């Protein structure tokens, strides 16, 4: 971290960190509001992250009261009654408007039905995201590709004032001063190889907590997706047509994509599991090929006909990408508990619309478009009112950037240590205090070692930060998971099987060296701007 | 995992170097990209989607294949129709119809 060269410096009104759907919508809305915008992505805006490589449903519901009511009601119980009707209604409205804009302005080629009406319930990731990139460019946003953010900057009053980032193409750091920052850096999938998510290492949550933000719903972080073994193809939806088998060809009782995935996890602890899409009719088989071409890309290359052949499967961790935990949202403009800091997409908690159930697929996509748009507008308004930050701006990054002792640890060994605690099914998925407690202790030890001895220089700097973010994420997850001494939403505790009416609240989590969790006050006050006055 | 950059097809447009989210490629001395950091490949297929000449091939596995694997044999992949398969489905490339326009999946069973 010692540097003698003066850093390259940029100045802007709004800095957006992350160029997936949430980040691009934030950039679009901030630019439309008249703000000067810089968009920095760790990879490449348009190809990077959980959406660009997949097809996804989106929670798009026609503006018909009965349909909207049914859509909102359908998942309240699954989410453990932690979602919020007002936010669901807002997201349905905003998503409707954004998909309309996507069709009109980005000219996204939605399919049409026999009546000539556009079908807007699904999006092809590559097509969606390349159009988002073009739109962002046309609005004059400066895009910085291959530029992972390293740490946030704050002014003397603690107002977020930009970030330091690394230009991977040169190996040099860049300082981006900004009147407000939108964090849209995705969730954390712990480099499990779930499709497109190696870049999703929880950077946004670490940046936010270092600046003083709180997290919410971190116990809802145990999503696992089905994939053919040895592949990255975590397209779970089509397993609705699958039957699951043991190696000897006998039926695996109780296994199902929905409501029977834990049976698959339990079996995988000791033996191989196989699947076959044998419940699809010929018409459905043809539609499946059309609906998700990349699913069949992988099967075709493997030489597997998934409708007739048994193929071995695995479960890959999707952490808070398909879980719902993330940075706590404090205001309707997606402001956080820190002035000048906004959160969107999978970096933010999705409990507001999902409760404790997975936001995977359509809800997360709707949340990304909606929260991104709100955060972009909110950040633009904040930056316009505030002006550019003053002189006393300082970086607030910790682990991986500023080791307290001699550097004696590499990022690879840290990632291995984290994965050992967060990927196994019997720790994260099939939760029990007897296994969560030692796993959390081990992660705390890793964090201590990281604080003291993890460091890097040049291009490796961001790898050290990724590793630090993953350790922090694992600790927040398990701390919250132990605090919630019941089963609710996706968080199922084998030692606490019942839902406890006394725990009908959201859990806030935070802290770096000392991690804490506590119930959110029942009467939540959602004010128009950040929790603390700027 | 990325296995092939075919120098005979490559037009040195740098698209794959740019779009790869994990910076797997470097520009080689002759302008043709080289797979510099294969272990960073996340098997997301984006490089293939953006390659205008189908010069790239991503094997369906997240670990590298053996040297003699059919996933490194560009002629066999071309003959079997696997090369360029993702772009064909996306409808990316001149004269093609965008796949998104007809991407209608089945109704999900309850």
- Cα separation, A519 vs A515, whole angstroms: 14
Q: Tally the C-alpha atoms within 13 A of residue A64's C-alpha that lie toward its C-beta.
A: 7
B2, β-bridge pairs: B58
Do A52 and B44 count as a contact with CB atoms less than 8 A apart? yes
Q: Is A9 on the interface with B (CB under 8 A)?
A: no
Residue A315: how many other CB atoms lie within 10 Å? 24
Shortest CA distance from A194: residue in chain B: B42
- Cα separation, A335 vs A343, whole angstroms: 6
> The whole model's pTM is what?
0.96
Burial A50-69 (b: 16+ CB within 10 A, else e): bbbbbbbbbbbbeeeeeebe
Dihedral (Cα; A414, A418, A420, A426), 10-degree rounding: 180
B5, β-bridge pairs: B56
Q: Residue A330 to residues A18, A405, A526: CA-CA distances in angstroms? A: 20, 36, 6
Q: Provide, as residue numbers in chain A, all residues whose Cβ is less than 8 Å from the Cβ of B42.
A: 193, 196-199, 232
Please spell the DSSP secondary structure of A145-174, one letter per residue. TT--EEEEEE-TT--EEEEEEEETTTTEEE
Please spell the DSSP secondary structure of A55-87, one letter per residue. EEE-----S-HHHHHHHHHTTTTTTTT-S-HHH
Determine the distance in angstroms separating the CA of A126 from the nearest CA of chain B, rounded to an integer.
8
Do A293 and B46 count as a contact with CB atoms less than 8 A apart? no
Q: Tally the C-alpha atoms within 13 A of residue A41's C-alpha that lie toward its C-beta.
A: 30
Q: One digit per residue, pLDDT tens: chain A, 534 residues?
A: 445 567 899 999 999 999 999 999 999 999 999 999 999 999 999 999 999 999 899 999 999 999 999 999 998 998 999 999 999 999 999 999 999 999 999 999 999 999 999 999 999 999 999 999 999 999 999 999 999 999 999 999 999 999 999 999 999 999 999 999 999 999 999 999 999 999 999 999 999 999 999 999 999 999 999 999 999 999 888 999 999 999 999 999 999 988 899 999 999 999 999 999 999 999 999 999 988 888 999 999 999 999 999 999 999 999 999 999 999 999 999 999 999 999 999 999 999 999 999 877 799 999 999 999 999 999 999 999 999 998 789 999 999 999 999 999 999 999 999 999 999 999 999 999 999 999 999 999 999 999 999 999 999 999 999 999 999 999 999 999 999 999 999 999 999 999 999 999 999 999 999 999 999 986 544 444 433 333
Q: Provide, as residue numbers in chain A, all residues whose Cβ is less than 8 Å from the Cβ of B3.
A: none
Chain B residue set in contact with A, beta carbons under 8 Å:
18-23, 40, 42-46, 49-50, 59-63, 71, 82, 85-86, 89-90, 92, 98-106, 108-109
Q: How many residues does chain B have?
A: 110
Closest CA relative to residue A171, chosen from A400, A468, A456, A410: A456
Q: What is the largest CA-CA distance in chain B?
A: 56
Q: Provide, as residue numbers in chain A, all residues whose Cβ is less than 8 Å from the Cβ of B103.
A: 55, 111, 122, 124, 290-293
Over residues A281-321, the pLDDT tens digits come to 999 999 999 888 889 999 999 999 999 999 999 999 999 99
B35, β-bridge pairs: B25
Q: Provide, as residue numbers in chain B, all residues whose Cβ is less than 8 Å from the Cβ of A231.
A: 43, 60-62
Do B45 and A300 count as a contact with CB atoms less than 8 A apart? no
Q: What is the ipTM of this complex?
A: 0.97
- Cα separation, A224 vs A148, whole angstroms: 26
């Amino acid at each position: 971290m010692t540097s003698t060269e003066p850093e390259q410096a940029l100045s802007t009104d709004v800095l957006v960190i992350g160029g997936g759907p949430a980040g691009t919508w934030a950039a679009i809305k901030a630019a439309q509001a008249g703000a000067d915008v810089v968009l920095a992505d760790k990879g490449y805006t348009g190809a990077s992250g959980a959406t660009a490589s997949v097809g996804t449903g989106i929670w798009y519901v026609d503006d018909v009261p009965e349909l909207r009511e049914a859509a909102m009601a359908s998942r309240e119980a699954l989410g453990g009654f932690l979602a919020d009707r007002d936010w669901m209604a807002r997201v349905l409205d905003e998503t409707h408007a954004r998909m309309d804009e996507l069709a009109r302005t980005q000219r996204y080629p939605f399919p049409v039905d026999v009546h000539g009406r556009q079908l807007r319930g699904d999006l092809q990731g590559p097509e969606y995201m390349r159009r988002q990139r073009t739109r962002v460019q046309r609005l004059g946003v400066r895009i910085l590709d291959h530029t992972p953010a390293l740490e946030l900057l704050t002014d003397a009053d603690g107002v977020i004032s930009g970030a330091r980032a690394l230009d991977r193409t040169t190996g040099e750091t860049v300082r981006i001063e900004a009147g407000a920052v939108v964090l849209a850096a995705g969730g954390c999938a712990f480099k499990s190889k779930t499709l497109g998510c190696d870049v999703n290492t929880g950077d946004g949550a670490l940046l936010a907590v270092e600046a003083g933000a709180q997290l919410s719903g971190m116990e809802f972080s145990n999503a696992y997706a089905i994939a053919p073994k040895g592949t990255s193809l975590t397209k779970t939806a089509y397993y609705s047509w699958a039957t699951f088998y043991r190696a000897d060809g006998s039926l695996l009782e109780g296994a199902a994509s929905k409501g029977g995935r834990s049976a698959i996890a339990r079996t995988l602890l000791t033996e191989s599991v196989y699947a076959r899409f044998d419940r699809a009719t010929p018409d459905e088989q043809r539609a499946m090929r059309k609906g998700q071409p990349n699913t069949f890309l992988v099967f075709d290359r493997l030489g597997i006909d998934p409708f007739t052949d048994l193929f071995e499967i695995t479960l890959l961790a999707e952490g808070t990408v398909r879980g719902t935990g993330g940075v706590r949202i404090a205001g309707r403009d997606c402001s956080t508990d820190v002035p000048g800091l906004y959160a969107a997409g999978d970096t933010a908690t999705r409990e507001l619309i999902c409760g404790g159930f997975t936001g995977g697929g359509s809800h997360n996509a709707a949340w990304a478009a909606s929260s991104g748009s709100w955060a972009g507008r909110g950040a633009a308004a904040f930056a316009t009112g505030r002006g550019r930050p003053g002189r006393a701006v300082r970086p607030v990054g910790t682990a991986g950037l500023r080791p307290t002792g001699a550097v004696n640890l590499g990022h690879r060994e840290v990632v291995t240590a984290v994965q050992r605690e967060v990927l196994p099914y019997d720790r994260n998925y099939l939760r029990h205090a007897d296994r969560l407690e030692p796993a959390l202790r081990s992660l705390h030890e890793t964090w201590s070692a990281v604080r003291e001895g993890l460091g890097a220089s040049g291009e490796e700097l961001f790898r050290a930060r990724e590793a630090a973010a993953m350790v922090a994420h694992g600790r927040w997850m398990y701390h919250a998971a132990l605090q919630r001494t019941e089963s609710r939403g996706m968080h199922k505790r084998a030692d606490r099987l019942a839902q406890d009416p006394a725990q009908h609240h959201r859990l806030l989590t935070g802290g770096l060296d000392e991690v804490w969790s506590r119930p959110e006050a029942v009467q939540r006050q959602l004010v128009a701007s950040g929790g603390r006055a700027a | 995992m990325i296995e092939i950059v075919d120098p005979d097809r490559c037009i040195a447009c740098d698209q794959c170097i740019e779009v790869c989210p994990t910076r797997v490629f470097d520009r080689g001395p002759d302008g043709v990209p080289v797979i510099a950091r294969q272990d960073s490949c996340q098997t997301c297929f984006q490089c293939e989607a953006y390659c205008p000449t189908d010069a790239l091939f991503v094997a369906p596995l997240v670990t590298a294949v053996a040297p003699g694997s059919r996933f490194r044999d560009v002629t066999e992949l071309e003959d079997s129709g696997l090369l360029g398969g993702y772009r064909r489905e996306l409808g990316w490339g001149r004269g093609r119809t965008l796949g998104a326009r007809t991407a209608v999946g089945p109704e999900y069973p309850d």
